Chain A
């Protein structure tokens, strides 16, 4: 895998329509993004369609990337994850369009912010393990399967509002753990 700086440079070149850079970016990142699509969609045919659409989006939206607050690899992962989640939700008939989420504009983070994030990121798994079992799983299911509050409530067999309270409390605990 290329370094974040290399990926960032490739995305910047894709943003100005550099097809050679697009091919390099594809060569460097497609296995990772295909793995995500496969994991979310559990269907090779659907994951292939999703991956194709993901790279179309990457080509088209790379221009907006520089004003996006995410690190380059996170942006790519988020585009793939959100697109795959949209597809899996459409299959399940659960609404909510996530496509716009990765395109949210933001000021680019300073070098300190990026460095802090890299170390925070490695801690997520540790912090999740501090949550009670079911609650960590709910966060994972929301991220990896796009499960909604209603679906999670049904799965854990609790009222919707209880599920919502659990998850919000989990997010707060997570955020505090990650900020320690």
Chain B
């Protein structure tokens, strides 16, 4: 095929591509051309559209009743055996989290932030590696709320930031969507608050209003570590 610029040849080539008749090398070359050639994309889309008519006479068959549950399980309930950090794609964060907890430990052990109680303050700085997003989250046991202060960064336009608590091997628990304002207060249920010591806090990029799934769906933008009680 030397006449690659011949529109007739391209129409045929797009049909071969849609049918899956091209070799892997040819298909890749076609895709590379298609990326910059709207006419070629149009030619492919036309074939995909036309060929889909071959499924018109196929009998519809109801899938097994539990199929959607199986799909949901794959998508929304990752196996418990994988570590949480892996599940969140956070494995790279460990060194940062260790550093962050050391910093918190330093600050805490120097009594810089600790209220005059025996235990260290349940708070964490949740920050991106490059500091493009930085939020201080501090738990107030008296009111059962988490005070969040956004010191740097914010949600992308039309997106929300959601704060998560990750305790040990348990699935992330949403602590709520961060307010648009710099400061805000998030109520924390007592059973969730009990998990704060030693937990990792993470902020993810989510659709407006927060994750629709109850689990992080977008990129994890920042993490931080709440000190342990015995720290």
Contacts and interface: CB of A to CB of B under 8 A. Distances in A.
A35 interface: yes
A131 interface: no
Nearest to A163: B21
B49 A52 contact: no
Given A69-B44, A175-B11, A74 B19 contact: no
A126 B217 CA distance: 45
Interface in B110-169: none
Nearest to A78: B48
A56 B52 contact: no
Nearest to B210: A17
Contacts of B42: 69, 106, 109, 113
Contacts of A154: none
Which of A34, A82, A104, A140 has the most chain B CB atoms inside 10 A of its CB?
A104
A140 B52 CA distance: 11
Interface in A18-33: 18-20, 23, 26, 30-32
Nearest to A39: B58
A59 B16 CA distance: 28
- Residue among A81, A85, A95 with the highest chain B CB neighbour number at 10 A: A81
Contact of A172 (B12, B59, B213): B12
B54 A143 contact: yes
Contact of A38 (B8, B61, B217): B61
Looking at B34, B58, B76, the one whose CB has the most chain A CB atoms below 10 A away is B58
B190 interface: no
A38 to B, nearest CB: 6
Contacts of A23: 68
A171 B49 CA distance: 14
A5 interface: no
Interface in B12-64: 12, 15-24, 27, 31, 34-35, 38, 41-42, 44-46, 48-56, 58-64
A139 B19 contact: yes
B20 A101 contact: yes
B71 A55 contact: yes
B8 A56 contact: no
Contacts of A104: 31, 34, 41, 44
A146 B71 CA distance: 25
Which 7 A-B residue pairs are closest in the complex by CB-CB distance? Answer: A69-B45, A31-B60, A171-B15, A106-B41, A124-B53, A142-B19, A34-B63
Interface of A: 16-20, 23, 26, 30-32, 34-36, 38-39, 48, 51-52, 55-56, 59-60, 69-71, 73-74, 77-78, 81-82, 85, 95-98, 100-102, 104-107, 109, 113, 117, 120-122, 124-125, 139-140, 142-144, 146, 148-149, 167-168, 171-172, 174-175, 178
Interface of B: 8, 11-12, 15-24, 27, 31, 34-35, 38, 41-42, 44-46, 48-56, 58-64, 67-68, 70-71, 74-76, 206-207, 211-213, 217
